[in-house]
Structure 1
């Protein structure tokens, strides 16, 4: 499925519609938290990390996201995960709700990266993943002012307040929802609450069968909902993103399978997870094998996938890589792609030296140009 921009042929390119999502900001004001609902169960023991299945739905389930909005939410989630120190095992963004399987590291251990004489410099470098240069400049000035006036304690308190935002599941999800809501409301010209109450969360054992089963449940959501017949066909889930070549999505699913962190291909994680999805996600029929009681992967598809041991053909892999590129893509020989790159060199950053990127799964040499942000070509 391709990221569709709008039915209006005059609509701006995808990246222009997502400017607010991509922009770095200052510190968001704290929102009032909702106090109702059940007590949240969080892991507080000695383990290095804990995993949670997170789910949140729009108000009444009545507000539905289009393709651009799903893409915006996907970007916000990944960006906040990078900032918060939280790892995404997998995810699925549906029309009116989303699922995340998130790994929250041990906070004290994670914060050790900011210790020592270079700790503050490393902290500011990390803050730059989310905050603008203007905000960070003001923050540096404020810290320097505190210290020059002999109020180093206040400077440390300011830094500690920022550090409290790391490795915190509630703050992570809360800011995802807030940041996306502000962009969404501006895009739709609406006001008011977007999300229904607090998010739901389930503490999941971070290894073995529980983690694998939960990951498969999440990636199978579009199949169960009847949106697609195969989870690889749904653009906004961790499995499809992994097949599209995303290293971060691949690493998350390797975690779910207990494979080496970069074992998506080398350790057979891709094939193993595809087999898992087609085993866990089989449709359920009545005793007469006529009426479908629960939608899922067809028996024929499951048998075919298991017979092939979860392998996808080179042609299928190339199609998936191409399908999950964002806007603006050129596909062809190395010379062809380099020619387009050189002709529109001004659209790319100065550090990019060449335009052609090899598609590793293609049997014949095939190259692509990715993320042409201003004026899509192809």
Structure 2
């Protein structure tokens, strides 16, 4: 049954397969506490935030994700991170596990944005990241009714329950895994546990060599496992997403490198990180230099990347961006893309006035049907 369900799903366009992942939540599940399992090392000092390497594997490592499922898990991670107030430094979704380098701010400081006379309005605006307008309307009505009846304490407890879900690593990862599991089981037509035990986490110093090393370790996973020869060619990791033009991924890696938040291009972060990846990800050979003991980037490739100081040619950047974001969409001169747009005008909304979007990385006049931003198209 699982195989038949999967075949039927794969016949649908990507966005239709991911409809459950993209949908807003309508029913509030409540803030649930986390108990059991091993103790975690948590940052409880004076710093404004702490970073953690999180890893979780499927049950027994025997359940493998296809490309759509990797895309779904990636989207759930980003969306829940935004909702929970957690920043993604980088990530990697592999076939049967995922890695995540997350920056978790101090809750008390982060929650200050919801204080004051306009605090509740800002809270509801933030809740819109995850919840539907209909649900938020019901929540507003519920709070108004409680206050009208003089139950101020109960109304405040309701709000506090929402706030408890913010800036909590365990609740964040727990909900990522649960939300993805529900979608995954429905897609596969299966039941039962998807993930193996609790997730593993390591507290990482939030700057300097430790953070850079951990980020590189995560983005090098597809190379170490032999899935890709270069992390830039593996779509479901932070480095490839950053090269594809994603600001959120670029800012996360700038954090790892200690660069200005928007310094991916202006501060040389892209080149610096590429050098770090190849230098630390080189393959290890035996004493005779004949057999590979640990998979990685070949010595020749490392030398070539370091010789170029981590720079990618404009042509390579365009190739990566097109491959990551626009497989199957119109690509070519402005005139060509406009002709395709005109012939398919009914597929676009009334606000769309033209079709061609310039690809900035290209030295030539190269255009695409859509701006190459966050959503990959298979």
* Corresponding residue of 1:88: 88
- Cα distance in 1, alignment partners of residues 232 and 101 from structure 2: 18
Taking a change above 3 Å as real, the CA distance of residues 149 and 32 of structure 1, as seen in their structure-2 partners, is closer
Given the two structures, how large is their TM-score scaled by the length of structure 1?
0.92
* Corresponding residue of 2:231: 231
* Corresponding residue of 1:46: 46
- Cα distance in 2, alignment partners of residues 240 and 103 from structure 1: 20
1:20 paired with 2:20, answer: yes
- Cα distance in 2, alignment partners of residues 301 and 131 from structure 1: 47
- Cα distance in 1, alignment partners of residues 329 and 296 from structure 2: 32
1:213 paired with 2:213, answer: yes
* Unpaired segments ≥5 residues, structure 2: 1-5
Moved more, 358-367 or 217-226: 358-367
CA contact (8 A) 2:328 2:377 kept: yes
SS at match of 2:139: helix
1:132 paired with 2:129, answer: no
SS at match of 1:264: helix
CA contact (8 A) 2:89 2:102 kept: yes
CA contact (8 A) 1:13 1:327 kept: no
Taking a change above 3 Å as real, the CA distance of residues 230 and 173 of structure 1, as seen in their structure-2 partners, is same
CA contact (8 A) 2:54 2:200 kept: yes
1:156 paired with 2:175, answer: no
**Residue-pair matches, total:** 370
SS at match of 2:235: coil
* Corresponding residue of 1:115: 115
* Corresponding residue of 1:368: 368
CA drift of 1:339 comes to 3.8
- Cα distance in 1, alignment partners of residues 50 and 69 from structure 2: 29
1:65 paired with 2:62, answer: no
1:147 paired with 2:159, answer: no
Superposed CA deviations along residues 178-217 of structure 1, whole A, max 9, x for unmatched, are: 1100000000000011000110000000000000000000
CA contact (8 A) 1:90 1:100 kept: yes
* Unpaired segments ≥5 residues, structure 1: 1-5
Taking a change above 3 Å as real, the CA distance of residues 377 and 218 of structure 1, as seen in their structure-2 partners, is closer
Taking a change above 3 Å as real, the CA distance of residues 117 and 354 of structure 1, as seen in their structure-2 partners, is farther
CA contact (8 A) 1:326 1:371 kept: no
- Cα distance in 1, alignment partners of residues 32 and 377 from structure 2: 45
SS at match of 1:251: helix
CA contact (8 A) 1:56 1:196 kept: yes
SS at match of 1:202: strand
Taking a change above 3 Å as real, the CA distance of residues 345 and 77 of structure 1, as seen in their structure-2 partners, is farther
CA drift of 1:267 comes to 0.4
* Corresponding residue of 2:274: 274
Moved more, 152-161 or 200-209: 152-161
Moved more, 248-257 or 331-340: 331-340
CA drift of 1:31 comes to 9.4
SS at match of 1:287: coil
SS at match of 2:99: strand
* Corresponding residue of 1:244: 244
SS at match of 1:324: helix
* Corresponding residue of 2:257: 257
Superposed CA deviations along residues 238-293 of structure 1, whole A, max 9, x for unmatched, are: 00000011110000000000000000010000000000000000000111100111
CA contact (8 A) 1:59 1:195 kept: yes
CA drift of 1:358 comes to 1.7
CA contact (8 A) 2:279 2:302 kept: yes
1:178 paired with 2:178, answer: yes
* Corresponding residue of 2:287: 287
Taking a change above 3 Å as real, the CA distance of residues 210 and 349 of structure 1, as seen in their structure-2 partners, is farther
CA drift of 1:110 comes to 1.1
* Corresponding residue of 1:192: 192
Given the two structures, how large is their TM-score scaled by the length of structure 2?
0.92
